[in-house]
Structure 1
Amino acid sequence: MAFSKDGYWVWDFWLADDGENYHLYYLHAPTSLGDPDLRHRNARIGHAVSDDLVDWDDLGEVLSAGAPGDIDGSATWTGSVVRGDDGLWRMFYTGSLFLSPRDITNVETIGVAVSDDLHTWHKDGRVRLGADPAWYEILPDATWHEEAWRDPWVFRDGSGDGWHMLITARTRGLRSRRDTDRGVIGHARSADLVHWEVQPPLSSPGSGFAHLEVPQAVRIGGRDLLVFSCDSAHLAGDRSGTGGGVWVADASSATGPFDAAGARLLATESLYAGRIVVDRGGLPRFIAFENSVGAGAFQGRITDPYELIIDGAELRLGTLVQEGDLA
C-alpha cells in the first residue's frame, strides 16, 4: 500500500538500503496548517522502514529545523543518504531559511547529519555548503525568488576518485526576472564527505527548465541516466505551456555532462520527485509522491513501486508492483 501519515502531508523522499531493510526518509508537515503551500516552510524529515518497499513501518520524525537564523532555521528539505568508509551514515539535506513570513523568499544551504544506525541522527556543523557565485545564481542577484541550492544527491564515482554531489541550482546570467531558463545541475566534489569544493554545473542552461529538482544519477540497461523533476509551472523556453513531471535525460557518465535539453518525460506531474531504487531481485523500480494537478486537493502520500520497462533507448513506467513481488 502507498505510504501515508495520518494528519500530515508527505511528499519528497529518499531511501537508504542496509541490506536487510529499506529506510525511507520523507518530508512531512501537519495538515492542520490548512494550506498545502505552507508545508514547504514547515517541512521536517521522518523515517520509515520496509523489507519489501511496499509495507512500511513509520518511525516518526528524525530531523527537525534548527534555531532561528541557522541554515535550516525554517525547514529541513530533501536530501540523500550514503555510508562512508568510516562506517557512519551521512544524510545530506537541504536547509531552508525563509526571510519573511509573508513571502516565499528563502536561502537554501546543504547540511549534513550523521548516524551509526540509520535511526538516530546528529547534525554535523562542519558541512555548510552554499551556492558559489562564480557559477551559480545567488539571492542578491535579484533574478529569482530564492537562492536555489537544494536536493543534494551524493554518490561515489565508480572510478574511485572520491564523492560527488548533484544539486538543484540555477546558473548566473542576465539580471532579468524574465529569463527563467537557467536551471542546471550543480556539482560539488569531496574526498572525505566533510570538505567539499563546488564545481561548474554538469548541464547547460537554456534546456527548458527553471529548475531541475531532486536529481538522481542512475545506471539502467548499461546506460547512465539522470532522473529529475520539473512541474509545468517551471518549464521555460520552448517547453513553456507543455506538461511537466518526472524527466529522464541521457548522461555521458554518472558525473555528466547531462543532456537536459534532450530530456524526456517519464511520468506526468500527477507523480513527482520520482526515485529509482533496486529491489532485492536486482530490478529497478520507480517510486514517487502523488502530486495534485488542476483543482485536485493535495493528498500527500508516496506510491507503491512501479515496474520500469527498458524499451530500446527509452525508459517507460509499467504497472504497480503487487505486494510480495519485491520480497
Structure 2
Amino acid sequence: MSKTNPGRFFEDYTVGEVIAHAVPRTVGAGERALYHALYPARHALYSSDAFAQSCGLASSPLDDLIAFHTVFGKTVPDISLNALANLGYAEGRWLAPVWPGDTLRSTSEVIGLKQNSNGKSGVVWVRTRGTNQHGEAVLEYVRWVMVRKRDVEAPAPETVIPKLASALTPDQLVIPEGLDFSSYDFALAGEPHRWGDYAVGEVIDHVDGVTIEEAEHMLATRLWQNTAKVHFDSTAREGGRLIYGGHVISMARALSFNGLANAQIIVGLNGGAHANPCAAGDTVRAWSEVLDRAETPVPGIGALRLRLVATKGGAAGALRDGDGRYLPEVLLDLDYWALIPM
C-alpha cells in the first residue's frame, strides 16, 4: 500500500465534511521580512511597532495577507492540490490580528459541489477557518475551486450550490481591539487622505507597476507552503507554471499604497475572481474603485469598500468587454473592506 498521497479529486468530497488540515505554522518576524521583500508593502501600521502603538495596538501585527496566505496554504494539499483553477472568494472576515509568534492552523467544511458538464472536473466550495494557538479564530472565508476527477466514469454527486452573500455588511466587520486613530500621524503614514476624502464611484490609478519574476513567485509559493502542482511543477500545466493568485493579490494590495496609504487594515473580503492567468514576465499594475463608505462603532475609524483590480496594462477603470467578459489584460478583481482614519 502506497504511503504517499496523490491529493483529493472531485469525487472524494462530500457536502458537510469537515477537514482538519495538517502542519500548523508558527509565524514571526521572518515572514514579515520576506513578505516585504516579495511585495512593495509600505502600509505604516504593518511596518512599524511605534506607529502601531500610536494607533492603540501593542505592536505591529503581521500583514493581513500573511495571515490569509498562511491559512490558505494549509488547505492546499486537501482542497486544491489537483485543482485546475481557484475560482473565487466570498464572506471573508479577519477576526483578530496575527502577531509574531502565533501558530496558525486551518479547518475547512465542504459546503457545495457541482460537477461540470464535461464530466472531467467539478467545482468544490469550502468554508475555511484559521485559528491561533489559543483556539481563537483569526480569519474565515469561502472559496470555490475547480478540481479534476480521478475517474471520469465516477457518478456525479448531488449538486449543492451554497447561497453566499454578495457583500459583508458594515456591522459584520471586526475592529481590532484597542485600535485608535485619534493620534494618527498622516505624515508618517505617507498621505493626507482621510475617509471623507474618498467618494463612491471614484477610480484611483495606482500608477506603479512590478514585473513578476519566476524566482520570486516560486519563493512565495514555498513560503506559504502552497503545494498546488500548477504553481511549482512546470510539467503540470500546458504553458508553464501558473502564478499563485494570492501572489497577485498581495502585489496589487502593495501597489494600492499609492493613493490608499491610509487604508491600513483589511477586515473583509466580499468577493474575488482571478480573471485571467498570470505568468512570470507579466508586469502587474493596479487600480481601485471606491464602492461604498461606512462608519464603524469606533469613533474616528471608517471603512471603505474597495474594488482592487490588477492588470497587465490597460486603462484604469476598464474591466469588462461589451459582452460582460473580463478584458484579457485583467488578472484580478477583488472586492474588500479596509479601515481608514476619518
Q: TM-score, normalised by structure 2?
A: 0.25
Of structures 1 and 2, the one with the larger relative CO (CA 8 A, separation 6+) is 2
TM-score between both structures, scaled by the size of structure 1: 0.25
Higher Rg of the two aligned structures: 2
Q: Which has the higher strand share?
A: 1
